[in-house]
Amino acid sequence: MLSATSVKDIKTNAKHLLYADWFSHIAILFGCAMCTLGIVFAGSATISLLQKYAHLTDIDFNLLTTFFALLTVFGAIPLSYGVCVYFYNVANGHKADVMDLFYAFGNTNAFRRSFCLFWALLWRFSLIFSIPSYLVQRSMTALYEDDFLYYFYGDFDIGYFLVSVYLFLLIFAAFSFFARYFAAIYLTVSNEYVPVSVCFSTAAFALSCHKGKHSFARLIWSYFILIVVSVLTVGILLILYTVPLMLIACFFNAAKLLESDEIRLYYNALLNDPPDRDSGISQ
């Protein structure tokens, strides 16, 4: 494994890890998407058939819709946790298996922990993306209802293009900031008997110690051109290359971020107990 002291080094290592088993990296993401969509489509088909032949009442319809919505949630969140387990193993040079996708379904603690992690990320996501979401809504209103920047050059809508670029940059900036929580995800996955709150506290402390040396925002922005090109390919490059590459890079960056005696001591102080050898904190 190459050294990793800069964004360039992180990206180089990520490419090596991606090319080592490209098919498996794509397969686990595809499997996660297909399993989730399978639950959604199965639920929709079941409701449609019952509504057609069983003459469901409004109450029955609402109950079935709620049931399948909950089933989707209880399937998608543990599957996403399995994806994190897989890429954690890849970033650390461990033997990664596509069956890691179902890891949380075979481990009661991991299944429960996947929802704790989801909740911890959800409220942070809501805070970070609240302003971009509001600005997206206001921009759409201004563009279409108030004719703001409504200007055509031939058949090209310049106003729509400018607003779209502005919103893309805004959302991308918000995501680059949210990416800082990959360190917390890394710790949560690496030691399943440590409270999720401790993992987030340790990750925040690690980021403050390094003062931008292992900045996730810088790492994400370094992929900006690649993401733009991926979007222009109607998402094909995004699925086949960009997403698995960036996931590996973020988990690898988290591993390097946590290689510090100072961070290990902080981690020990929160736990009041030495970390496990596979805790994600360097000994």
pLDDT (tens digit, 9 = 90+) per residue, 87-129? Answer: 999 999 888 789 999 999 999 999 999 999 999 999 999 999 9
| Helices 158-178 and 108-144, axial angle in degrees (round to 10) | 150
Q: Cα Rg for the chain, rounded, in angstroms?
A: 22
The residue ranges of the chain whose pLDDT is under 70 are 1-5, 142-157, 159, 211-212, 261, 265, 267-283
Closest-CA residue to 175 (of 211, 117, 137, 125): 125
Closest-CA residue to 160 (of 174, 176, 148, 175): 148
Give the pLDDT confidence score for residue 82 in this predicted structure: 96
How is residue 281 annotated by DSSP?
A: S
Give the pLDDT confidence score for residue 261 in this predicted structure: 66
Give the pLDDT confidence score for residue 274 in this predicted structure: 45
Give the pLDDT confidence score for residue 100 in this predicted structure: 94
List beta partners, residue 157.
152
> E strands along 118-251, which residues?
152-153, 156-157
pLDDT (tens digit, 9 = 90+) per residue, 261-272? Answer: 677 767 666 666
